[in-house]
Structure 1
Amino acid sequence: MKNHVDPGAADIPFGPADAPWQSSFSDLSLITEIPDVTAPSSEPRQTYDAVTETPYGRFQLPAGGLTADQYTAAENLFRSWLEQRCRISAGFQINADLDYQQRLSPYLGLTLNNAGDPYQTGAYTHNSKILERAVLDYFASLWNVKWPHRRDDPDSYWGYSLTMGASEGNLYGLWNAREYLSGRLMLLSPQGSAEPAPATGPNGAGGPGSNGYHPVLFFSQDTHYSLTKATRLLGIDTFQDVGRRWFPDENPLAPGTPWPAEVPSVGGADGDGMIDIDRLAVLVQFFASRGFPIVVSLNYGSSFKGAYDDVEAASRKVHEICANHGLDERPVHRGHGRSGTFDLRTGYWVHVDGALGAGYVSYLEMARRAGLVEATPPIFDFRLPTVHSITMSGHKWLGAPWPCGIFMTRTRFQMIPPRESEYIGSSDTTLAGSRNGFSPLLMWDHLARHSYDEQTRWAAECDRMAAYAHSSLRALEKELDLDLWVARSPFSLTIRFRRPAAWLVQKYSLSYETTYADGRRRTYAHLYTMRHVTRDLIDELVRDLRLPDAFVAGDFVAQA
């Protein structure tokens, strides 16, 4: 047998029958001896049962597989557990009101792979690209950009269906921004063009080898962690990276102090979560004046506070500053000199992370016009010429059994993919290459069955439910005479409050986050009033929060 393990490890009880791991090989007829596989090095249940609510042994997979009775018992146990979790899940921005099973289950017997560009059928013909194009056109219309997509029309949109959620859209958006601002070849660049030399260091604004091809990234302290992960994966410098490296004592927000990691939010860690546009302007001014191209990622429904950055005001300010320093529109010359062909490009890129908000607020705007709500966040979409790209998650507002989403930009901002792929018969213009073809089917199904009217009523109802949850938790504060730190950011569908005991966090799948305000620690939980969250569920949570063991003392202590 392969590997060097404790001889007794092969006798570890394994699977629903609690039989020794190696005994399941005796159930096989083709394989007459233990093959070259690795035995467990220790008891898996001792490791996994500590982090799960159900007995792991029921789901283990011995070499002989599960009997029909074992499979039925395990599947029923998992399904009942999951149905219960979904019914009372209130802490994450997902829509658990799903009804795809009856119509779409036949597709589980078919393969769907949307390999390559959505607008090229390609050699892999069993795909859902025809539905993907319909979904993308739908959102192009909703987000006010010229459609349909045409490769020969630079003002038309281009986009694709994400295999992951908005985190993939953020990653792709920052990759596109990096390539665009670094002077790499664009899809619509003249044939035979050459790329400029890469940036080297702080040499002033100008040609190749200067700051002019060294993008600098800005995002707020309330931005989703995927932005930090994306910067590391892509090697994009944040303003802190460049500031520490070349301007260590010149932090313009507070000279002589260390550079912050992110742009501060209004009110700091305990504020409502919108980016501080005045401080963003100070930081952008510092780097734009030195010739660095600017990348700004704005939040439109941030993950924890549900905050909406003022995309219109922030992107306008970025444009104005960049225009003052020749970065509003600049020629990017091909090759190593200033002769020959060139592209006219902006010297900045504004990306909108609209994981929830980009799928929701367009309908909330319709609700305002219909008199169902009084106000909505500032606009975020391609009505703003200063916005370059938008991403959203399909599993949040629309609802899907797995993460999915949309990325969108304008055709004129598309970059040439690193390599053309003859193998798939399509340009590989997306991040994943092979892409999940089921997600466009799910999104198409949802949008085909639910009109603007329905989506508008849902948006208004979710907004009302957020107001109800907020008032219910505020009333509980008075009843308990306990500061629960209840807060709702403007227009948000999330209400944050003091984190309750662990059993309540588990019961309602509550997300939580620790902040520091005035040297004191606050650990918040929050709930999201997505479509499946009803008054009854909110009332049930409030009843549980009323119990004597609902909160643990000491959650508001001095910072060490």
Structure 2
Amino acid sequence: MFTTEELRIPSQENADRGADAELLRRFADSAEERLRHHAGFPVNLDFDYGPLAPFLSLHLNNAGSPGQTSEYRLDTKPFERAVVGFFTELAGGRPDEVFGHLSHGGTEANLYAVYVARERYPDAVLFASREAHYSVPKIARLLRVPLVEVAVDDDGAMDLGELGREIGDRGAPAIVVATVGTTSRGAYDDIPGIRRAASAAGVDDVFVHADAAFGGPLAAFGDPPRPWAFPDGADSVSVSGHKMIGSPLPSSVVLVRAADADRVRTPGVAVGSDDDTIGGSRDALSPLLLWYALRGLGGDGLARRAHRCLEVTGHAVRRLAEAGRHPTRAPGGNVVLFDAPDEQVMRTWNLLDVDGRAHLSVMPHLTADVIDRMCADLT
């Protein structure tokens, strides 16, 4: 797309930025073209944050705790608290019992949740399905927590029988990452079932993190809704901002019980604010983006968006079956796996390869018409 020489940063000041502006315009045009065929990745590309452009001229920084002002006054913490409040309600949490903030993405959100869990149970063993997010093994290494990867059932959800056996064999406190919408197959781990499996194994010291980065809104608004959050047995919940909502920046809302956040808080060290997050000096643009999107959507709009995704997923399954591609879909999910087409079609439609099968993620920017165009290319 661009040569190394075109992108080289010069040693002298560049007085004429016209060529740079043209290069960026070319890149934007090419990205817009690729966007029309972006079907394999679990991100929503249907958004417009043009009214927020003036904030690109400001240095905004949410330093320290989201619930406190700091000595750096150019922050967006009131907007962050509003976004956290929306997701706390969606996840069935009580505002006085939940601490939340915006992290830089799903990996940091999972890291924070397992971090506070490890502080509650210092001798715990971490359990996650073999199809959990790729960040989980890395988090286990970072926090030096033993990790047990649990087998999955035919739909891709955690095998609760094996989980119970593994927890019982260790006989130690358990931290369990329950994936609510796996990126590989869109499967939902059974949070109440995880609690029952641990109890049957004789282990009551259990912390369950609901990694709902991908599937949280789909679980909340599905028909029927699926267990995924605090009332269902989760101790912490994370939902990504760049997936179902859509954002030019990766972000994630992470919610934990306030008592667990208290264990990791250091008072007054972050420019006059408590330090109770991993990022410390944190992205302050994402709260504006998500607040702006959610003000337009509201809970009803987010529900309609989730319903449309599930309807289009059903359409995709039917069309792919008609094309002879043998589609499969986890119950309630928006991921469809099907017999992979040739490499050109895979590349054109940005489809992932999962064990030799093409991977389609039906996100809000994908319509039935787009699915029909893709299926026409398949045949």
- Length-normalised TM-score, structure 1: 0.65
Partner of 2:330: 489
Partner of 1:382: 230
Partner of 2:136: 227
- Kept in 2: contact 1:135–1:443 (CA 8 A): yes
**Residue 360 (structure 2) pairs with residue 527 (structure 1):** yes
The CA RMSD over aligned residues, in Å, is 1.8
Kindly indicate which of the two structures has a greater share of residues assigned to helix: 2
Measured in 1, the distance between the counterparts of 2:45 and 2:269 equals 40
- Kept in 1: contact 2:270–2:280 (CA 8 A): no
Q: Deviations over 1:236-285 (max 9, x none)?
A: 1124xxxxxxxxxxxxxxxxxxxxxx21101xxxx320111111111112
Q: Larger relative CO (CA 8 A, sep 6+): 1 or 2?
A: 2
Give the 5 Å matches for 1:240-319.
Answer: 262-266=149-153, 271-288=154-171, 292-319=172-199
Measured in 1, the distance between the counterparts of 2:131 and 2:99 equals 28
- Kept in 2: contact 1:421–1:428 (CA 8 A): yes
Measured in 2, the distance between the counterparts of 1:232 and 1:177 equals 15
Query: Highest Rg: 1 or 2?
Result: 1
Of the candidates 25, 45, 48, which is equivalent to residue 99 of structure 1? Answer: 48
Of the candidates 94, 112, 115, which is equivalent to residue 63 of structure 2? Answer: 115
Q: Which amino acid aligns with 2:19?
A: Q
Q: Which amino acid aligns with 1:360?
A: L
Of the candidates 435, 439, 445, which is equivalent to residue 292 of structure 2? Answer: 445
Aligned residue for 1:286, secondary structure, equals helix
- How far the C-alpha of 1:84 sits from its partner, in A, is 1.2
Give the 3 Å change call, closer, same or farther, for CA 274–117 of structure 1 in structure 2. Answer: same
Partner of 1:168: 108
Q: Which amino acid aligns with 1:473?
A: L
Q: Which amino acid aligns with 1:73?
A: E
- How far the C-alpha of 1:116 sits from its partner, in A, is 1.0
Measured in 1, the distance between the counterparts of 2:105 and 2:323 equals 35
Q: Which amino acid aligns with 2:94?
A: K
Give the 5 Å matches for 1:120-135.
Answer: 120-135=68-83
- Length-normalised TM-score, structure 2: 0.95
**Residue 367 (structure 2) pairs with residue 426 (structure 1):** no
Partner of 2:212: 354
- How far the C-alpha of 1:396 sits from its partner, in A, is 0.2
Partner of 1:194: none
Q: Which moved more, 1:459-468 or 1:497-506?
A: 497-506
Give the 3 Å change call, closer, same or farther, for CA 423–400 of structure 1 in structure 2. Answer: closer
Of the candidates 55, 60, 73, which is equivalent to residue 22 of structure 2? Answer: 73
Partner of 1:217: 126
Measured in 1, the distance between the counterparts of 2:265 and 2:275 equals 9
How many residue pairs get aligned? The number is 378
- Kept in 1: contact 2:70–2:270 (CA 8 A): no
- How far the C-alpha of 1:56 sits from its partner, in A, is 4.4
Q: Which amino acid aligns with 2:286?
A: S
Partner of 2:354: 513
Q: Which amino acid aligns with 1:505?
A: M
- Kept in 2: contact 1:487–1:497 (CA 8 A): yes
Q: Deviations over 1:330-383 (max 9, x none)?
A: xxxxxxxxxxxxxxxxx221111111112332233xxx4xxxxxx34x311111
- How far the C-alpha of 1:492 sits from its partner, in A, is 1.0
Partner of 1:158: 99
Partner of 2:239: 392
Q: Deviations over 1:436-465 (max 9, x none)?
A: 001111111111111222222221111110
Give the 3 Å change call, closer, same or farther, for CA 423–168 of structure 1 in structure 2. Answer: closer
Give the 3 Å change call, closer, same or farther, for CA 233–66 of structure 1 in structure 2. Answer: farther
Partner of 1:417: 264
Measured in 2, the distance between the counterparts of 1:61 and 1:506 equals 31
- How far the C-alpha of 1:390 sits from its partner, in A, is 0.9
Measured in 1, the distance between the counterparts of 2:280 and 2:199 equals 33
